Structure 1
Amino acid sequence: MMDGMRRAGQTLIGRIVITVLFGFLILSFAIWGIADMIRNVGRVNVAQVGSAEISAQAFRETYQTELQNLSRRARRAITGEEARTLGLDQQVLSRMIAEAAMDQRVHAYGLALSDETIAKAITADRNFQGADGRFDRNRFDEVIRQSGYNEQTFVRTQRAVYLRQQLADSVAGAMPAPTVLRDAIHRYRNETRAAEYFVLDASKAGDIPTPDEATLQKFFDERKATFRAPDYRKINIIALSPADVANPDSVSDADAKASYEANKARFGTPERRAVQQLVFPSLDEARQAAEKIKAGATFESIAEERKATPQDYDLGLVTREAIIDPEVAKTAFSLPAGTVSDPVEGRFGVVLVRVGEVQPASTLSFEEAAPVIKAEIARNHARDTVQDIHDKVEDQRASARPLAEIAKDLKLNLRTIDAVDRAGRDKAQKPVDLPEREALLQAVFASDIGVDNEAISARDGGYVWFEVAGIEPSRERTLAEVKADVETQWREDQIAGRLASKASEFVKKANEGATIAALAAEAGVEARTAQGVRRSGETGGLPAAAVAQVFSTQVGKTAAAIGGTGQERIVLRVTSADVPQLLSTQQEAEQIDSQVRVALGDDLLNAYINDLQKEIGVTRNETVLRSVIGGGI
């Protein structure tokens, strides 16, 4: 072809023809090829953040790392569709954009870290420390290798992280905790209320007549979805754990003894003491109180003088490490039981410390701990065996062999579950015992017959293999199939409706002046009282719904709430509300301050990053993003 073109180019007509052809070729490149090249240049970036680019390759690597981490946490393979449903792609991209924006501001401010500083920070990281609390080079290499880094890239990444943290600290690191917010949180957590109430149970609903066929049919037709038969799956399962193959008897006493000596602290219980502390505004007042106690006054009487409740001064049965103030901890764990200290100048003020019960530290002997140690060592050894079996199972699955044949060949236990729904129940509505229950059910109902499913990684280092052997689709049931259930639910609805009406009538009478005792007598039930009711769960003898109602009702007012079941109604009147004083010297005040500072700091930093992104400009390329997470661009 080239020879022909060369010969044609030797004549005038030939040169003209070749010139025209090449002209068209060049023009086509200009129209199509160059445009494609320009478009391709724009397509290689997922986002532009100021002057920084987030390439498709960089996003792909970060996204895949996060997807793998998510799969490890779920103990099964997470599909791309599931990850998109969870918004993983947008979360990863948003984080990378925020980091790119902060990196540019870090550069603009000239922030930097020396090699010595970054080395010191890394070696102080607890993730890289051995059992002795010191930096372990082997552990460091293992951890960063598992995370997909070499030393150079890890150090570079960490340097960027620490520099961003410097910027973040300068923006929101010293955020004060507003007193009004701290007090509101304290009130929400510690407010207690009292109420008087009575309970209307199903027996107070009166006689419920037997419904006729038309009534049941109407009730059923309005609630067909409630009685619909669920989707059932028949599944075969092989579950393998280290405990299945572990043999503690094979572990020698010498190996167990060596492990015991290396981890002796694990088999000990630290000393615990019942500690109480009273805080004083000055050293003189503390000394005066101490003298009174030496003269015969009780610790409780001094607390009453200072209007302090046990909640204010009782730390409970604690270890030394649980006491925040080091001076108080030192004093508390040097006093004899049943004694009160001299004034101690602590971090939050001057305190008197009293020690009650003392539970001394104790350590299990080797003989006592040996069974546990040998079992642990055996399980660790068994993990290698489990992995070998895993590889053998996967080799056979690669040959498309069913689990029943694999189980028979490798002498593994195969379980067949004839029917299980999405909630893990059989057709009798009884729970089915399943390994890795949540992960398995989710995977089973995302699969189909004949699908080669990924093995589920178990918490204990084992594996669960499964295959869907049959599917019974969800369907509408007839009234004849569920007549007993329909009649039961109809009756329950009738009872609930009647009790709700009665409760409303009693609430109206109570708010018009009737007492709870009188109304309870009218209803033929016992009037009760609830003291010390808190927002957290069932307290003061009231179920959670009634507790919520107590805190939604003004003191002196009456309201109704659902009882412990749908077949109960509670009529209650809030009689009092109390909020204990929050002292700035209390540990709780310090904890609330810390939580508020962190929350407000996070909010401020997010606002800063949003403004920074607006200032430098951010452009996302959703087309490239979809292409990357779809498998390539």
Structure 2
Amino acid sequence: MLSSIRNLARSPIAVLVIIVPVVAAFALFGINDIFTGTGNAVATVGSERVTLQDVSRTMQREMRRIQMENPRMTQQEADEAGLGDNVMNLLVAQAAINAQARELGIAATDEQVFELIHGAPAFQSVFSNRFDPAAYQEWLRQEGWTANAFEAQLRGDLRRQQFIDAALAGATPPAIFGEMRARYQGETRTIRALLIPPALAGEVGTPDDETLEAFIAENAAFFTLPEQRRITLVRLDPQLVAPDVAVDEDELRELYEMRLETGELADAPLRTFLQWVTPDQQTAENIVERLGAGESPSSIAAATGLGDPVRLEDVEQFAVPDQVIGRAAFEMTQGEARAVQGRLGWRAVYVEAATDPEIPAFEAVADELRTELAGDAADYRVLDALAEFEDQRGRGATLEEAAEGAGIPLERFDYMTPDAFEISSGAPLMSIIREETILEAARTTQEGFESDLTPFGDGGYFILRVDAVRASELAPLADVREQAEAFWRLRQIDDRLQDTVTEALSRAEAGESLDAIAASIPGTRVEETTLTRGQTAGPFTQTLVNAAFRARPDTPFEARAGDQRTRTVAIVTAITPGSAELDSDARQAVIEGYESDIVIALERALLDSYDVRINTQLRDAALGRTDID
């Protein structure tokens, strides 16, 4: 936990975007247009400002991370759980470090920013494995950055990282920290547990309708259906169109040839070569003969009186001033010499080093090039279809009529939840579950009305109509009978077992042994094991082990075991301290934790020393809590 805080304090952009090549995940959600202006600062810390864009981008990035694991989590739910406040605390702490670093004169150079961007795997060409300006610009466009703003952010990240690295220089945790951690992690406890299985509850019977209806009402939070909406969706997405686009093979060849000429398919050839300016052809050929005989360039320069040759190192062909000389040098291989008549006279040319990267064959890159051409053609098809669709609507056509006239598929979704799940089956609607822009329009458009035509994804557009709305309500018994009955049975079994647990716990607290208690309650049994904090064994699940490590020795306690339906009364009968020796992984964890504590303490001290001001209205707008005018 502490190490993750340290990483966040250092560089969220550099770590998540540049160092880790996971840019594809960032295409899931966009950033609202209302945040593209400069506006006022959400927060100021000394001379540093936290902008609307900073807060919005960070919030959206964290939401994408959360929804990768829990797609049903909405931004409102995450904010209620504290995500928005955590984002603000993070950005304000970073601003405090930035302010101090700036005052100390710590700076990042243009060269550092250049190297970071040009070395990022996310921005490399799939053909040449070199920095691709087009990929970089496309990422900036998708994420709502300008190049200047993004590079300024990276510069701040690098400045902050240098400051933190300097603050942590020489920080070594005291040996006692490692010893305490080792003893804590290595501690073992012997646990004896009386296991009370669900079967001990006996047959609970079948509830009647009145019982189930009362049970549903008592547990409304579990049985309340969310609002559901039936929508009609018209979606134009180049990615859906591209697979149907036929690519002309001649165009594919032309693109390959163009990429060869521009050097995008492989690194450009390089040459390091010497050239002597000679008065005539004969002198140039004599130098070539002497080089062929093994004479060194320095001795040739002295013997001929022509002086030292001109040396060009690791140059591409276009960089050679005389293109005649350049063409000749790049026809030659390493160690070859040649007399060449350039535009300004004869030259003796000797190639010291030659680099000729392997150029991929057409067949090796044809699939990638075909995908690119199909994508371009799909973009044009979408725009043509969109123009026809809007023309039809302008003439008064309905959504269905305009879609048919433009040849666009019509999609209908019958009563889905706000997070794109079907109530009837509980299954996710995979075609739109990650399309937050579409889902937001479905949630906010009034019944019977159409949304605006809205961009989404990479070059796509959509419009939808909300055909019907079912308000949130308590589910009728007929729809949830099976789930309600199963839940009711579990509750009845648990309530019955609780009586046995209470009795057994009282007897154990009075000093009766668990074995004697088990002998008097048929169906129960006693098991014993010795475990560390992170170990489990059979019915001794992590829940039970955690309870045991919180319990006092020889003091009975109750917990859940096994599949969580089994109940237990347990006693810790022995505690053995761990060794004071740490393994390498644990030692590194101690160091990271210690450094993180230093960073946290540093942040708090800086925040106490600076004037921190937060504009709550802009903060709430940036976090999506309110609209901004």
TM range (shorter): 0.5 to 0.7
Pairing partner for 2:228 from 220, 229, 232: 232
Instruction: Check whether the contact 2:43–2:51 (CA below 8 A) recurs between aligned residues.
Output: no
CA drift of 1:546 comes to: 3.0
The residue that corresponds to 2:133 in the other structure is 138
Instruction: Check whether the contact 2:505–2:569 (CA below 8 A) recurs between aligned residues.
Output: yes
Q: In 1, distance between residues paired with 2:621 and 2:417?
A: 36
The residue that corresponds to 2:451 in the other structure is 452
Pairing partner for 1:596 from 593, 597, 606: 593
Counterpart of 2:559 in 1: which secondary structure? strand
AA aligned opposite 2:415: A
Instruction: Check whether the contact 1:193–1:533 (CA below 8 A) recurs between aligned residues.
Output: yes
Pairing partner for 1:610 from 578, 602, 607: 607
Q: In 2, distance between residues paired with 1:519 and 1:145?
A: 69
Q: In 1, distance between residues paired with 2:453 and 2:199?
A: 54
| TM-score, length-scaled by structure 2 | 0.55
String of CA shifts for 1:522-549, please: whole Å, max 9, x gaps: 4333636475756559654444533433
Pairing partner for 2:159 from 160, 163, 173: 163
Instruction: Check whether the contact 2:450–2:463 (CA below 8 A) recurs between aligned residues.
Output: no
CA drift of 1:202 comes to: 3.5
Q: In 1, distance between residues paired with 2:535 and 2:510?
A: 30
The residue that corresponds to 2:320 in the other structure is none
The residue that corresponds to 1:431 in the other structure is 427
The residue that corresponds to 2:104 in the other structure is 109
Q: In 2, distance between residues paired with 1:493 and 1:397?
A: 56
Q: In 2, distance between residues paired with 1:94 and 1:243?
A: 41
AA aligned opposite 1:593: V
396 and 86 in structure 1: CA distance in 2 versus 1, 3 angstrom threshold:
farther
Alignment root-mean-square deviation, CA: 5.8
String of CA shifts for 1:434-459, please: whole Å, max 9, x gaps: 3252555953444443241676967x
Instruction: Check whether the contact 2:192–2:528 (CA below 8 A) recurs between aligned residues.
Output: yes
Counterpart of 1:437 in 2: which secondary structure? coil
Counterpart of 2:173 in 1: which secondary structure? coil
506 and 606 in structure 1: CA distance in 2 versus 1, 3 angstrom threshold:
same
Instruction: Check whether the contact 1:248–1:377 (CA below 8 A) recurs between aligned residues.
Output: no
431 and 44 in structure 1: CA distance in 2 versus 1, 3 angstrom threshold:
closer
Instruction: Trace 1:264-343 onto structure 2 (pairs within 5 A).
Output: none
The residue that corresponds to 1:546 in the other structure is 544
CA drift of 1:603 comes to: 0.4
Aligned-residue identity in percent: 20
Instruction: Check whether the contact 1:383–1:461 (CA below 8 A) recurs between aligned residues.
Output: no
Instruction: Trace 1:172-571 onto structure 2 (pairs within 5 A).
Output: 172-182=168-178, 193=189, 195-208=191-204, 219=215, 222-224=218-220, 226-236=222-232, 242=239, 245-246=242-243, 383-384=375-376, 387-388=379-380, 390-391=382-383, 394-395=386-387, 398=390, 404-405=400-401, 408=404, 414-422=410-418, 425-428=421-424, 430-437=426-433, 439=435, 443=440, 444-449=442-447, 450-452=449-451, 467-476=465-474, 489-525=487-523, 527=525, 529=527, 531=529, 533=531, 540-563=538-561, 567-571=565-569
CA drift of 1:118 comes to: 6.1
Moved more, 399-408 or 495-504: 399-408
Q: In 2, distance between residues paired with 1:469 and 1:571?
A: 56
| TM-score, length-scaled by structure 1 | 0.55
Counterpart of 1:551 in 2: which secondary structure? helix
Counterpart of 2:414 in 1: which secondary structure? strand
CA drift of 1:470 comes to: 1.6
Moved more, 137-146 or 200-209: 137-146
Q: In 2, distance between residues paired with 1:141 and 1:120?
A: 14
415 and 582 in structure 1: CA distance in 2 versus 1, 3 angstrom threshold:
farther
CA drift of 1:492 comes to: 3.5
String of CA shifts for 1:80-128, please: whole Å, max 9, x gaps: 9999989999888877766665565445434456666666666566666
Instruction: Check whether the contact 1:118–1:159 (CA below 8 A) recurs between aligned residues.
Output: yes
- How many residue pairs align between the two structures? 472
Instruction: Trace 1:578-589 onto structure 2 (pairs within 5 A).
Output: 581=579, 583-584=581-582, 586-589=583-586
CA drift of 1:498 comes to: 1.2
The residue that corresponds to 2:24 in the other structure is none
Instruction: Check whether the contact 1:237–1:414 (CA below 8 A) recurs between aligned residues.
Output: yes
Counterpart of 1:525 in 2: which secondary structure? coil
504 and 436 in structure 1: CA distance in 2 versus 1, 3 angstrom threshold:
farther
578 and 122 in structure 1: CA distance in 2 versus 1, 3 angstrom threshold:
farther
Counterpart of 2:593 in 1: which secondary structure? helix
Instruction: Trace 1:31-110 onto structure 2 (pairs within 5 A).
Output: 46=41, 52=47, 59=51, 105-106=100-101, 108-110=103-105
CA drift of 1:588 comes to: 0.7
AA aligned opposite 1:589: A
Q: In 1, distance between residues paired with 2:157 and 2:432?
A: 36
171 and 591 in structure 1: CA distance in 2 versus 1, 3 angstrom threshold:
closer
CA drift of 1:497 comes to: 1.0
Instruction: Check whether the contact 2:231–2:414 (CA below 8 A) recurs between aligned residues.
Output: yes
AA aligned opposite 1:419: Y
Counterpart of 2:507 in 1: which secondary structure? helix
Q: Which runs of 5+ in 1 are unaligned?
A: 1-42, 264-365
